[in-house]
Amino acid sequence: MAVAAAVALIITFYFLLSGTSVSTGIGEQKIVWLPDSSKVTLHANSNLAYDQSGWENQRKLELDGEAFFEVKKGSRFEVQTENGVIAVLGTSFNVKSRSSRLEVTCYTGLVNVKTISVDQNIRAGEFLSIEENAVIDDGTHTLSVPSWQNGISTLKDVTLKEALDELQRVYKIKVVAKEVPDLKYTGSFPHDDVEVALKLVLEPLDIEYTYDSNLQVLTLDD
């Protein structure tokens, strides 16, 4: 694990020195046009880095966070994350790499997902979830684009802490809790109403809380 982290750090450092890096803040999204006219929509609190000068010879970039890719057909297109590598020739797909979890959803074409212990292709209408180099979920979907592009975060079988982390990526809120309960959450919340979002995440889990809208502080009750 330490070696993998060191390699990822070296790759990122190389890109930052020799290429282009793009970042988004809390609640922010950005569209990035790559040199071959491929389009990347970067989700909140995410980082993207690539070597613009060498792009014609090697379509490779580094992602920390989440992004939706619409790739022009051509040579191999590779997305490197801390949790694995996603490779395509021309397609549209979403990659979410946060903590030890990697989620890849294919919308058109064919995507190859590779980690230390997984090497799997997924086609349009399929998704794959990997945690700590093991497949934890896969199946089909009917979406044409990721829900977050339509202003909705959709989470499946994540911990409450992960759900709170996603809330903090979308909204500028601070979470105060002596201890976050060890619970699982599946559901969705909007990006345009923090109080509705909090209700949709916390009330199904019977979590009592208070929210100070002036200070933007969420407190989980004991």
* DSSP-derived pairing of the beta strands 101-108 and 92-98: antiparallel
pLDDT given at position 14: 45
Arithmetic mean of pLDDT, 102-119 = 96
Domain at 151-220: CATH code: 3.55.50.30
Mean pLDDT over 95-99 rounds to: 95
Cα end-to-end distance, the chain, whole Å: 35
Q: What is the pLDDT of residue 19?
A: 82
* Average of per-residue pLDDT across 3-7: 43
Is residue 80 within 8 Å of residue 63, measured between CB atoms? yes
SS3 at position 60: strand
- When pLDDT is averaged across residues 162-175 and rounded to a whole number, the result is 96
Q: For the chain, where do the domains classified as CATH 2.60.120.1440 start and end?
A: 2-140
Question: Which DSSP symbol is given to 9?
Answer: H
Where in the sequence of the chain do the CATH 3.55.50.30 domains occur? 151-220
pLDDT digits (tens, 9 = 90+) for 54-94: 899 999 999 999 999 999 999 999 999 999 999 999 999 99
- 3-class secondary structure, 17: helix
Average pLDDT, the chain: 91
Residue 105 makes CB contacts below 8 A (sequence gap 6+) with 93, 94, 126, 127, 128, 141, 143, 146
Neighbours of 120 (CB within 10 A): 15
Predicted TM-score of the model (pTM) = 0.88
Assess whether pLDDT exceeds 60 at residue 10. no
CATH topology of domain 2-140: Jelly Rolls (2.60.120)
